Amino acid sequence: METRVNLWKPEYQLDIEVIDDQHRGFFDLCMKSDMLCEAAQTRPVQLQDLVHLIYAMRAYAFKHFHAEETLLLKYGYPRIYPHIRQHDVFLGKLQEFTAKLNDLLAASPSTGQEAFLDSAKGINDYLADWWGRHILSMDLDYASFIREHKGAKA
């Protein structure tokens, strides 16, 4: 069975250290939510699992988007605003997940296990989708732009 470590591939690297470290943290988060859903038959998803997932997503988003947008501004990346707009979409989705968590907390302890699992699956699908559609597409695009223009700004 593959471990978390060897699922990480060299092509995920943007060669911008601070960004790669943060993306790796996001990748670990994807793996964590995936395992949570996979293991749900033997270890049911708890409210506390969702609290941890959402907290980690919020911490990632606030720190990482700021770091990335600062970099895009510094290098005069021409597609900066569509990029920021996508970050805003993530933040909007995060608001939805946080609101849902708030509802589950308010209804606790009478909320059923299926509701926790449903939420975890929704988060897990979104994280995987974000990994593929944003990080491996839009982030790779700005990284190659920065690589081409690095000499001029160094």
- Contacting positions for Fe ion (CB under 5 A): 68, 139
Q: Select 36 or 72, whichever has its Cβ closest to Fe ion.
A: 72
Tell me how far, at minimum, the Cβ of 21 lies from Fe ion, in Å. 11
Q: Select 49 or 68, whichever has its Cβ closest to Fe ion.
A: 68
Tell me how far, at minimum, the Cβ of 67 lies from Fe ion, in Å. 8
Q: Select 104 or 138, whichever has its Cβ closest to Fe ion.
A: 138
What is the rounded distance in angstroms from the CA atom of residue 73 to the CA atom of residue 77? 6
Tell me how far, at minimum, the Cβ of 44 lies from Fe ion, in Å. 32
In this chain, which residue has its C-beta nearest to Fe ion? Answer: 139
Tell me how far, at minimum, the Cβ of 19 lies from Fe ion, in Å. 6
Q: Select 85 or 106, whichever has its Cβ closest to Fe ion.
A: 85
